[in-house]
Every structure is written in structure tokens, then in C-alpha cells.
Structure 1
Amino acid sequence: MVNYRGSSLMRTSLTSKFLSRKQSPTAIALYIIFLFAFSIVIFLFNAGNIVEDKQNPIISHESHSQSQSQSQSQSQLLQVADEELWGAPSSHGLRPCVKPTSRYKAAQGSGHYLTVKSNGGLNQMRTGISDMVAVAHIMNATLVIPQLDKRSFWQDSSTFSDIFDELHFIKTLQGDVRIIRELPKELELVPRARKHFTSWSSMGYYKEMMQLWEDHQVIHVVKSDSRLANNDLPLDLQRLRCRALYHALHFSPPIQSLGKKLVDRLRMRSGRYIALHLRYEKDMLAFTGCTYGLTDAEAEELRIMRDNTKHWKIKEINSTEQRLGGFCPLTPKEVGIFLQAVGYPPSTLIYVASGEIYGGDARLLELMSHFPNLVFKEQLATEKELKAFAKHASQSAALDYIISIESDVFVPSYSGNMARAVEGHRRFLGHRKTITPDRKGLVRLFDELEGGQHREASSFSYLVRQIHKNRQGAPRKRKGPSPGIKGKARYRTEESFYENPYPECICSSKAV
């Protein structure tokens, strides 16, 4: 660029020097012509520069090429992202393997009987019944079809045959354990050994319990949940637990039929869907003592419920500490933020598997603001189809279970009994994609987001994806006890066998 101010000063200096001398008229005329010509040259030079600036494009041909390359790269990233969002992790050739070894022998029953009172909700009863099949095998006992819990929070009056295919259960396990529908009439009034077996017990423990047969023909088991250890059991016993849960405990034909119809209807709507187990129900919030985001009146209602539930031993709970420790279910709002950060678009079809959400529609709106395409079984099924399941929470939960097992992606908001059972079953079926939120890590990120520390959505999304890249259901061995914990308490901290039955029931063998 030309310095206009410098040119003006130069012209003034030349003029003053020239005029300071006495010059002839011809010389003066020549000087004027010179100045005029000089001015024209300066103007043309500057004009050339101005035209060049105008002709230079904002994006050069090279920049345009880079832009096209970036667009192609972004398109490729979107395709990769779609695979990451919906694609199942590699199972590395692993398959279900539940056949017994050559050393395995079936239990004969030998005139000894186990009667069982299953406790808890649907999945707590399912895994408990599977444990009781294994216990009956160890103790060489005949298993009487278990009685289901009718006094739990849901007050469900369903019987075993209402929820499960009873005949299939008996026939499938006939090579393992003798199972009968009812105790023989001649034994109905016989005194029974009422036993509350120790949680997470070994095979040796139940061998010792066989001493009870010396004085009793019938043992009544008061509770069925978590009666066996997660680890250090014989391979054949672990595989028997898997045969009982995955092969024998099928849902009753009416439940199976409607469950399949609802899955088909979801597929017709969108082709693929997420099953979200939204464990934001009154009983769970009261049990965990989690009140984040609730009103004072709601928090007080939950406290009263916890105080009045006798078998919940812990009454005083610090809600803030619970949340920071990752022990609280994600709120509907947090679930929406989480799924958005993972990368799912707002149009994603999400099936909500849950009971009644605490806070009702107002809380669900916090999720729907991110993902409006939410579906509940009441919207998929007709009123007539659901009539048979009304007031039967366990049967209704069985429908949720089927839809969750068959989903493209399963996401639990809390690691409760259903979440663990569904994750384990999906692993058994080929490591179907299951995203388990790191609640402790997410709480920190949510609080930072609320505090304005993540101004760019991309940075927040990147951090969420990073901490969940290895939490999507890929094959891994079952986790042992938490470090530093000794004695029997360590068993409680072990990962549930039914949450991850690898390696005993999942291996490289082609046996099924």
C-alpha cells in the first residue's frame, strides 16, 4: 500500500524548492506538466491496489478445497457416530455355553423337599428362583414350585403360573432337578425346618445344611434372593443357574405374546429404539434417600415412607452425599442431558420401562424437552390388551423386560435388580449394546454444567463420551470385591453373577 501522507509531503517539498528559485515561463510550464503526470502515475498505482483487494475472494481456491474436505470428513464422522450410537460391541466370537460337563450328575430328590417363599419384585424373584434350583441340586432335594411375594411394595397377587410358563420350567430342568407343582398331601402338615439361608453362601455351606435332612423331610426357605455366592462355585453349578434363568424361566404365553407384539409395534414406528429403564419411582427414591430436585414436601413424604418401612434398616440418609457418591437414580432431566451428550438426536424413539414416575408428567417433561418421542406400553397396547395386567405389577414388569431385552440399546438410570438382570441377559445373548451411566462421574459434570463451566456443548459431550466409551456392554470378566473390604462384607460388593455370567456361561465354545 502507498503512504498517501508521505507522497503529499514529497510533492510540497519539491514545489517549495523549485519556486524558491527564479524560473522562466517555459520551465514553469514543464514543471506543472511533470507534476500532473506524476500525480496520474500515483493515482493509477493506488487504484490498481484497490482493485486487487476487491478481486481477492474471502475464501481462496485452496481454502474452498479444504472446506469441501472438512464437509466430507464431517459426513464420515456422522456415519461413524451412527454406528457408535446403535452398533453392538464386538462379542469377539463368544457364545452362550450352558451345557453340563461330563462330570455332572442330576439331583434325584430322594424324598427330601424344598419349599420356597420368593421375595422382592419380578427380577429379584427370578434370580432367587434360579438360585433355589441350584440349592436344590446341591442338597439333592425336590423343589416345589416357589410361592411369589405378595407383600412387596407393589402388592401383586400373581402366582408362579401367572408370570412364568410352569410346564416349560419343570420340563426344561428335569435333567437337573426334580420339580413338582405342590407338596405331597401327606407332607402338608409335617413340621418343616424353617430356614433363612445365609446370603452369598458357598457350595460347602449347603453341604453342611444337608444335616437338616436327618430330622426333617421338608425345609422351608424364607427368602430366595442372593442365596448363592457370585464367585468360586463349581462350573457346573454356575451353568445350572444360567440354564434355570435363561432357558427354563420363560414368561407365561400371554406375556410372551403381548411382549412380542409391542416390540413389533416399536419396530414399525422407527425401526430401532432405546429401552430406558427409568428407575425414578417413589419406592426407589425413598429407599435410597435421594431428594435432589424434589420439593420439601416430596422429600418429607419420602422420609416418612422410609421410616415406616420396617425392613429398610437405614433411616437417616444424607441425600447430598448419596448423590455425589453416585448412589442415586438419575433424574429424568439428567437422563435427557446424558443421552443428548452421548449423541442421540431428539427424534430418537425411546421406550420408557418403569412404574409410576415420582412427580408425574411434570418430571417427564424435563426428559421430553430433549427427547419428545417417548413411548410407554400404555401407548403401544390397547386398553383391552392391558386389562389382564392391571394391578399386577410383576406381569407388567415382565412386558418391560421383554421389550428391554429386544431393544437396540438398553440404558438403565439406576443399577437395580432389573437393570442388572437385563444387562446380564443381553450379555448372554451376544453382548447387545447396554450403556450403563457412570452416575458418580456424571453428577460432577452435571454440576459443572449447571455452574457454567462447560460453555461449549461439544466439550461437555466429549467428556461424557470419554467416560462411557468402555461402559457399553462389551465382553469383560465379572468384577470381584471392592478393595480394602474384608470378611463377609466383601461378598456384597462383588458384581452379581446374573449381571455378568462371564466366563462360566459365556465362552468361545460353540456349545449352547
Structure 2
Amino acid sequence: MIKRGTVKEQLTVDSVSIKKNGSCPLMPEEVGLLLQALGYPSTTIIYLAGSETFGGQRILIPLRAMYANLVDRTSLCSQRELSDLAGPESPLSSDLPHPPPPKSEKELIEEWKKAGPRPRPLPPPPARPFYAHEKEGWYGWIGENDTEPDPSPIEFRRQAHRLLWDALDYFVSVQADAFFPGFHNDGSGWPDYSSLIMGHRLYQTPSGITYRPDRKTVATLFENVSDHLYHPPRNWTMAARQHLNNSARIEGIKMSATMSKPASFLAHPLPECSCRTAKSPVVQPVKDKHGALLFGGEEDCPDWMVRTLALVPTKNNEPQSEDYEGELPEDDPSQDTQQESDRSDTNKSEQDEEMDPDD
């Protein structure tokens, strides 16, 4: 891989130093411990968004032990619902190598008779067929070809499905009550999944809870309690809670504007994508050390947007059904009493007619 130029960096990596530097994503176990430090009960419903977790379900065992209501799209949606989301598709042939056709007993006997002397030791048995996950990604072709082959139709379909699943997870994450990223601001210069979700939540629901943890600070916190992770002292819990709560407030927005916005404008769409109405209070502008405006100081909203916002309360106060054009009349107790008395008089007259001795 180094000779071919596929890998241009050093393969020798000091994982401990990279972890302390905050370059590694948070493990599911660490996320669960941080949520416990924040005070989330064990009955909290957690939706696991994003691509497949590195390490599989085995890595999720500690988090699932702390929060049993850990769900994802595969547990909330049936296969029929996911297939309906993808739409109708024509069947495609698999791109995996097919095993040779089985030989009959007669063919095996003829092959045995024609074979020469048997070498010692015997040759190894035939290789097993490849699994699907062994042919996906760059590691499926790096040992066979010098250049990346053209994707097959089934590979294009898998990529399209992944985009649909990512879009579904994106929608759920934006609408969630709280969002906790496991990995963001990777420093690659490209927008990442979590940063886009955080920017969308900041634009759509700024009052929502969006945590922006500093992984370098979190790594230092876990290093201090590495011997007793599940029974940390109270001062550690208070320090972790203070850091995470601050990341969801103004301090976290400042850090996000400084780190995420240069890589992607959508990660921090303020103040360019926001405006101020006449009734909204004036927010003191906040700038970074270089004088760049982080938020505040928005321009006035255009007239058409102000008129639209003025109509929102009116629409909310309209009745839900068109069958009721006005308010229902209130019950009149005197009218009910009069109706009851009329009913009782009618019943008495009927009884008198039935018991008349002259009949």
C-alpha cells in the first residue's frame, strides 16, 4: 500500500497520544457514562444514528446495559417499511464470486483415476466463498488489483441505500429532544455528519439541547477515573456535567463557530441565515478574538416574512374541523331542569292513563 501510494501517512500510530489529543471518536461506553453524569435515567430512549458502528453490536453492549431503550432504524422500522422507503427495485445479480458447480459421483471417480501420485502432505482444501462484508470498500480490491475497479450495479444500489438510511437518521436527529455527537470536528477540512446536524438544529430549534463536547477535555476526564469508571467520585461527575452543560450553551456555540464554520458554513449558519423581527429582543453581538461575528446583530426580517409570522397565531387558533364553524353553546342548567320536568310530567301522565280504573 505504501509502494503504490495508497497510504501516504505513517502506519505506526500512537493510539494513546491520539486519544488524549481528542482525535478519536467517543466509544459507546463513554457516551453512556457521560449521559449518566448528566442525570439521564436508565429509561431514556436513545436513538443510535449514523453509519454502522465500528466493532458491531459487541461494542454497544455496555451502552445497552446502561440504557436498555437503545434503538435504531432497524429496530423501529420493519424490512417492509425500509423497502418502501427505497421504492420499487428490479432484482440484480450478486457481485460475489460463485462457487464451482458440484460434481457428480461419476465425475469424481474419473478424476480420481486420472490423477497421478498423491503428494504428501495433501493440498489444502478449497477456499470458502467470500462473505459480503469482505468485498465491500477498498479492502475488497486492494489485494487483487492495482487500481480501484468500477463499482458494480449492486454496489451502486448499496450506496444509494446508505444515503437513504443516513437521511432517515438525519431527520430523526434534527427532531430529537437532545443530540449528543460521538464524533465531530475531525479536522479533515470536510463537513461531517454530526456537524451538519448540529448546525441544522441551531438554525431550526436554537432552544433545543445540543451537546458539543470537547473530546480532548473528555479524554482527560476519563483518564482521571480509568480505574473506577462505573463508580466515579462526585467531583468528577460535577466536572463532566458542567463541561457538557456549558457545551450546550453560549460557550459551546462559540467553540462550534470557531472550529466548525471554517470547514462548513452549514455547521454554524449564524448570523447569515437568521433575521430579527420588530418584536424580538435585540441580542448583544458576540464576536471571536479575530473580530468575526458569531451570532447577534442580525438584520431585520423582510416584510413578507413578518406578515407570515403574524398569521401563524391566527392559524393555530382556528378550529381543527370545518364542521364546527363557531363555538359550541354552553350548557344552560335551567334549560336542563325544564327538560327534566317536562319528561317527568309526560311519564306521570302515561302512568295515569295505564292505571285508569274506568278502563
Q: Which has the larger radius of gyration?
A: 1
**TM-score w.r.t. length of structure 1:** 0.35
TM-score w.r.t. the length of structure 2 is 0.49
Higher relative contact order (CA 8 A, sep 6+): 1
Whichever structure has more helix as a proportion of its residues is 1
